[in-house]
């Protein structure tokens, strides 16, 4: 019964102590424990099994029970202590709360008392300081009144003194007093509503107006606009008057400057009137010599009269430039027919020299006061164009002169070429560039620099048009016009003539000198192309930014590119034509009568001979333009290989031995073409990949044609399939040509063609058409033996 009651008590206790997961997690965080008895998921069976894992461990059961009972007693003691400790907690908490409330009430009372006392103190301070504030305001107003009265006294006295000094022309004292009066008057702007203050302000303005008029009158008297005599030296009165003018309205200062400069340059306008002999361009030096003397004279006599910050010397020089530009423009319009290019260039040169002199002596700070032509291309010289701008409308004379000179230069180039003949063959340093080319561009550079110094506007555009004209003429008359002309050949080349042909004999239409000339023209055209591009860039640097888009030499560069293409085409046609008789002889040979495979055929020897004759010459003369030699090789391969295949189709009928000989010849030509860029050269270079790809593709296709011809046509299905695999050509005409080469009868060809059309939809499989001869299987053992024998022969030749 006791055990049952204990079990029921335990179950009730577990039901009461069943805590939520959150509470259990919080307890584990606050009281971490590794004891299994503290775990929420405690299992008594597992715990006992852990204590007694084996039967032998039951021998210690009494000891384990004693330990557990000891632990229970300790837990009971701890629980009892905690429970007893919590007995008086509630009563102690209530007592502490009551004490805290009493303390808060006491603190609130003390704060209230302090606040009341602070309000009483503030009220007392306000009563004490009320009278002090009134006294402070009174002091401030009194100080302001005294200061204003002092300023008023100074203003009234200053105005009286200013009026008196003005009447006596005491400008030195006026300069100091006027500035002070104006500074004092600024303090009375807010009092202008008072009649007396407004009256004083009006008296100051009247005094300023009177001073301005009086000073202008004094300068007019000292420097009359009419008459030729000048005073002997500067006046101290006028020097002080300039100091006063600095303070007055800026228009007074400007009027003084204008009148003085006008009077100072009046003699210049008389000496260099339009009807005077010294006014023309040939004596333009005298104008600049005159102003230099006048500047020296001014600095000696009047340099100290005007303030330094007026920059009077520079202003005189600038006004002289404006007047000179206007006068020169007027006289050049009147006598435009008398202007020659040498005279114009002389005047421009002297003028630009004078502008350079001004730039060295003056800073150009006064140029913003007047209108000055913008010359963005000369940032280091602010005076650039201040006079020389007047020559720009007449630069057409210079442009026309350059047009004439360039025309004569081209004619001289043509005459020199005819007299001297083509350049000598060059095999060491590449094709020689025609010297006339360098002369032309040197002259262009000289003209461009000279014109840019004269103008960076429309004249530069006109000069560019002239450049374009003569670049085209040079390309047509000197380059294209001197390319050798091709002539049609007649007759053919027989096998007997090929056999009799000796090594080194001339078959090519162009002579060695003509080949060198073509290479020289090609090199010259390339030089012109590159230099024309540089010329365009330099012209864009020289011309105004707004005109850059109008500089375009693309058409001229295209013209030189055309000359290059024509030269390469001539070289290709020459070598191609030299090989034509050999290919013709190949197509006329009786290939069905060839009895055995020997060395390469005579036509192959002839082709190789022509290649060895032409290519080294072309390569050596194009050593400086390697890329165009590569273009020549590529164009020759693209021309020769299709022509070779065309003649190959004409070789019909072909016996098995004949096909083997042709295959050997084709392979020999293929190896020669692969070596063509370096043939006959001591330095062996790897051929460009683009060229090698063309040769390998074209000549491999020719080899495949011969391999198909060599293959037996029985059984037909195998032959057709092998054709499609090797040639990957679905053209019926090509297949027809293969059948003609094999010498099949028309009836057999009809069956083959029909079968070919039926097999066309089947896509080719296996490796590409450049595969080895193993694709011909199945073939008879005899045919396989003959092909292996041919391969050995080719390797032996290599």
Which are the contacts of 401, defined by CB distance < 8 A and separation ≥ 6? 341
Average pLDDT over residues 211-236: 68
How many Cα atoms sit within 13 Å of 623 on the Cβ side?
16
Classify residue 425 by its DSSP letter: P
Compute CA 366 distance to the chain's CA centroid, rounded to the nearest angstrom: 38
Q: Phi/psi of residue 450, each to 5°?
A: -65, -45
Has residue 320 got a pLDDT over 90?
yes
The per-residue pLDDT for range 374-409, each reduced to its tens digit, is: 444 445 678 888 888 888 888 888 888 889 999 999
pLDDT at 381: 73
Q: Name the CA radius of gyration of the chain, rounded.
A: 57
The string of pLDDT tens digits covering residues 265-310 is 888 888 888 888 888 988 899 999 999 998 888 888 887 888 888 8
pLDDT digits (tens, 9 = 90+) for 334-356: 888 888 888 988 998 899 899 88
**Cα within 13 Å of Cα(558), Cβ side:** 4
Give me the chain's average pLDDT, please: 80
Residue 639 reports pLDDT greater than 90:
yes
Question: CA 705, CA 736: separation in Å to the nearest integer?
Answer: 12
In this predicted structure, the answer to whether residue 767 has a pLDDT above a threshold of 80 is: no
pLDDT value for 367: 79
pLDDT at 371 over 50: no
Percent above pLDDT 90 for the chain: 21
Q: Residue 710: what pLDDT?
A: 83
Going by pLDDT thresholds of 50, 70 and 90, the confidence category of residue 493 is: very low
pLDDT value at 359 more than 70: yes
pLDDT in tens, 651-691: 888 888 888 888 999 999 999 999 988 888 877 788 889 99
Q: Is the pLDDT of residue 142 over 60?
A: yes
CA angle (501, 505, 511) in 5-degree steps:
145
- Residues 335 and 397 sit within 8 Å (Cβ to Cβ): no
Structure-token pair, residue 746: 């028309």
Residue 474's pLDDT is 93
d(CA 542, CA 453): 9
Q: For the chain, how far is it from start to end, CA to CA, in angstroms?
A: 118
- Count the residues in the chain: 798
160 CB-contact burial (10 Å; exposed 0-12 / middle 13-18 / buried 19+): exposed
- With 0-12 / 13-18 / 19 or more C-beta atoms within 10 angstroms meaning exposed / middle / buried, residue 587 is middle
Q: What region does 605 belong to: left with phi over 0, alpha with psi -120 to 50, or beta?
A: alpha
CB 158 within 8 A of CB 177: yes
User: Mean per-residue pLDDT for 10-34?
Assistant: 70
Dihedral over alpha carbons 734, 736, 742, 747 (to 10 degrees):
170
Using CA atoms, how far apart are residues 19 and 22, in angstroms rounded to an integer?
8
- pLDDT of 506 > 80? The answer is no
Angle between helices 396-420 and 458-473 (to 10 degrees): 20
Band (pLDDT 50/70/90 cuts) for residue 771 is very low
pLDDT of residue 797: 47
Reported as type and span, the H/E element at residue 663 is: helix 656-674
Nearest to 376 by CA among 541, 601, 593: 541
Q: Which pLDDT band, with edges at 50, 70 and 90, does 363 fall under?
A: confident
pLDDT surpasses 80 at 783? no
More confident residue, 793 or 774: 793
State the helix-helix crossing angle for 312-334 and 284-302, rounded to 10 degrees. 160
For the ranges 1-10, 456-465, 755-764, the maximum mean pLDDT occurs at 456-465
The pLDDT tens digits for 79-138 are 888 877 777 777 777 888 888 888 888 888 889 889 888 888 888 888 778 778 778 778
Q: pLDDT tens, 558-581?
A: 999 999 999 999 999 999 999 999
Please report the DSSP string for 161-200 in residue order. HHHHHHHTT-HHHHHHHHHHHHHHHGGGGGGTTSHHHHHH
Residue 113 or residue 17, greater confidence:
113
Confidence of residue 372 (pLDDT cuts 50, 70, 90): very low
Q: Residue written as tokens 């210049």?
A: 268
Say which DSSP state 39 is in: -
pLDDT of residue 774: 33
- Give 530's pLDDT tier (boundaries 50, 70, 90): very high
SS3 for 339?
A: coil
Task: State how far the Cα of 413 lies from the Cα of 614, in Å rounded to an integer.
Answer: 29
The yes-or-no verdict on residue 635 having pLDDT over 90 is yes
Report CA torsion sign: 306, 307, 313, 317.
negative
User: Looking at the predicted structure, is the pLDDT value of residue 40 above 80?
Assistant: no
Query: By the 8 A CB rule, do 658 and 595 touch?
Result: no
- For residue 524, the model assigns a pLDDT of 93
Q: Identify the pLDDT of residue 491.
A: 39
Is 745's pLDDT higher than 60? yes
**Spatial contact of 489 and 509, defined as CB atoms under 8 Å apart:** yes
What is the Cβ-side half-sphere exposure of residue 197, based on CA atoms within 13 angstroms?
A: 15
pLDDT of amino acid 714: 75
* Residue 702 reports pLDDT greater than 80: yes
Q: Which two tokens stand for residue 86?
A: 């919590």
Q: Residue 12 has what pLDDT?
A: 63
Q: Using pLDDT thresholds of 50, 70 and 90, give the confidence band for residue 16.
A: low
Cα separation, 607 vs 669, whole angstroms:
8
Nearest CA among 644, 666, 698 for reference residue 794: 666
Q: What is the pLDDT of residue 426?
A: 52
Q: Provide the CA 534 distance to its chain's centre, in angstroms.
A: 16
Nearest Cα residue to 527 out of 448, 449, 474: 474
Q: Are the C-beta atoms of 443 and 637 separated by less than 8 Å?
A: no
Angle CA 638–639–643, to nearest 5: 115
- What pLDDT does residue 298 have? 86
Task: Quote the pLDDT of residue 764.
Answer: 45
Q: Does residue 781 surpass a pLDDT of 50?
A: no
Report for 178-192, 421-435, 529-543: range of highest mean pLDDT: 529-543
- Dig out the tokens for 116 from the structure: 């009341």
Please count the helices (runs of H) and the strands (runs of E) in the chain: 27, 0
How many angstroms separate the Cα of 603 from the Cα of each of 23, 394, 584, 638, 753?
108, 70, 9, 20, 33
Give the 3-state secondary structure percentages of the chain, helix then strand then coil, rounded to 5. Answer: 75, 0, 25
Confidence check: pLDDT of 706 > 90: no
Residue 700: which region, alpha, beta or left (left: phi > 0; alpha: psi -120 to 50)?
alpha
């Amino acid at each position: 019964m006791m055990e049952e009651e204990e079990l029921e008590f335990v179950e009730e206790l577990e039901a009461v102590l069943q805590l939520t997961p959150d509470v259990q997690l919080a307890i584990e965080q606050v009281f971490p424990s590794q004891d299994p008895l503290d775990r929420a998921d405690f299992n008594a069976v597992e715990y006992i099994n852990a204590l007694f894992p084996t039967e032998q461990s039951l021998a210690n059961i009494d000891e384990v029970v004693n330990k557990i009972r000891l632990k229970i007693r300790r837990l009971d003691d701890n629980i009892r202590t905690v429970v007893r400790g919590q007995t008086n907690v509630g009563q102690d908490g209530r007592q502490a709360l009551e004490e805290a409330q009493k303390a808060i009430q006491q603190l609130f009372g003390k704060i209230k008392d302090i606040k009341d006392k602070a309000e009483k103190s503030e009220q007392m301070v306000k009563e004490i300081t009320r009278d002090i504030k009134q006294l402070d305001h009174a002091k401030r107003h009194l100080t302001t009144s005294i200061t204003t009265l002092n300023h008023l006294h100074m203003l009234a006295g200053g105005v009286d003194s200013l009026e008196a000094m003005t009447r006596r022309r005491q400008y030195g004292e006026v300069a100091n007093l006027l500035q002070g009066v104006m500074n004092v008057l600024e303090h009375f702007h807010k009092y202008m509503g008072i009649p007396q203050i407004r009256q004083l302000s009006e008296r100051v303005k009247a005094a300023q107006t009177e001073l301005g008029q009086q000073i202008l009158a004094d300068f007019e008297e000292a420097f009359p606009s009419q008459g030729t005599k000048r005073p002997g030296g500067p006046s101290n009165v006028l020097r002080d008057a300039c100091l006063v003018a600095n303070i007055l309205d800026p228009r007074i200062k400007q009027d003084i400057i204008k009148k003085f400069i006008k009077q100072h340059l009046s003699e210049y306008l008389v000496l260099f009137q339009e009807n005077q002999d010294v006014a023309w361009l040939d004596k333009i030096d005298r104008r600049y010599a005159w102003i230099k003397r006048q500047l020296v004279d001014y600095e000696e006599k009047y340099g100290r009269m005007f303030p330094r910050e007026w920059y009077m010397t520079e202003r005189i020089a600038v006004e002289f430039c404006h007047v000179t530009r206007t006068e020169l423009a007027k006289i050049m319009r009147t006598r435009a027919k008398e202007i020659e290019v040498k005279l114009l260039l002389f005047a421009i040169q002297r003028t630009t020299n004078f502008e350079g002199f001004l730039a060295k002596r003056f800073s150009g700070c006064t140029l913003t006061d007047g209108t000055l032509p913008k010359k963005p291309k000369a940032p280091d010289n602010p005076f650039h164009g201040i006079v020389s701008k007047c020559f720009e409308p007449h630069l057409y004379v210079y442009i026309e002169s350059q047009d004439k000179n360039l025309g004569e230069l081209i004619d001289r180039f043509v005459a020199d070429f005819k007299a001297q003949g083509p350049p000598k063959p060059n095999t060491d340093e590449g094709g020689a560039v025609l010297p006339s080319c360098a002369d032309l561009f040197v002259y262009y550079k000289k003209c461009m620099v000279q014109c840019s110094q004269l103008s960076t506007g429309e004249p530069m555009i006109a000069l560019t048009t002239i450049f374009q004209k003569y670049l085209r003429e040079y390309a047509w008359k000197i380059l294209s016009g001197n390319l050798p002309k091709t002539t049609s050949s007649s007759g053919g080349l027989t096998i007997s003539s090929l056999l009799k042909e000796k090594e080194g004999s001339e078959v090519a239409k162009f002579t060695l000198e003509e080949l060198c000339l073509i290479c020289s023209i090609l090199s010259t055209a390339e030089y012109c192309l590159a230099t024309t591009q540089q010329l365009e860039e330099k012209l864009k640097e020289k011309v105004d930014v707004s005109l850059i888009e109008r500089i375009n030499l693309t058409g001229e560069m295209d013209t030189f590119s055309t000359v290059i293409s024509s030269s390469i085409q001539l070289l290709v046609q020459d070598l191609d034509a030299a090989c034509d008789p050999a290919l013709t002889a190949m197509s006329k040979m009786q290939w069905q009568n060839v009895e055995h495979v020997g060395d390469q055929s005579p036509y192959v020897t002839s082709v190789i001979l022509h290649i060895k004759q032409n290519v080294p010459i072309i390569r050596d003369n194009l050593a400086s333009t390697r890329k165009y030699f590569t273009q020549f090789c590529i164009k020759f391969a693209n021309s020769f290989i299709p022509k070779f295949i065309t003649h190959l189709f004409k070789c019909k009928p072909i016996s098995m031995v004949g096909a083997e000989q042709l295959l050997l010849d084709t392979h020999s030509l293929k190896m020669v073409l692969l070596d063509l860029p370096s043939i006959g050269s001591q330095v062996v270079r790897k051929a460009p990949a683009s060229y090698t790809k063309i040769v390998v593709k074209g000549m491999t296709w020719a080899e495949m044609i011969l391999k198909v011809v060599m293959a037996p046509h029985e059984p037909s299905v195998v032959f057709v399939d092998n054709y499609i695999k090797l040639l990957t050509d679905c053209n019926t005409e090509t297949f027809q040509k293969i059948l003609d080469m094999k010498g099949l009868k028309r009836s057999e060809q009809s069956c083959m063609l029909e079968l070919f059309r039926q097999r066309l939809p089947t896509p080719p499989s296996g490796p590409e058409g450049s595969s080895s001869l193993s694709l011909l299987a199945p073939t008879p053992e005899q045919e396989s033996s003959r092909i292996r024998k041919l391969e050995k022969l080719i390797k032996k030749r290599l």
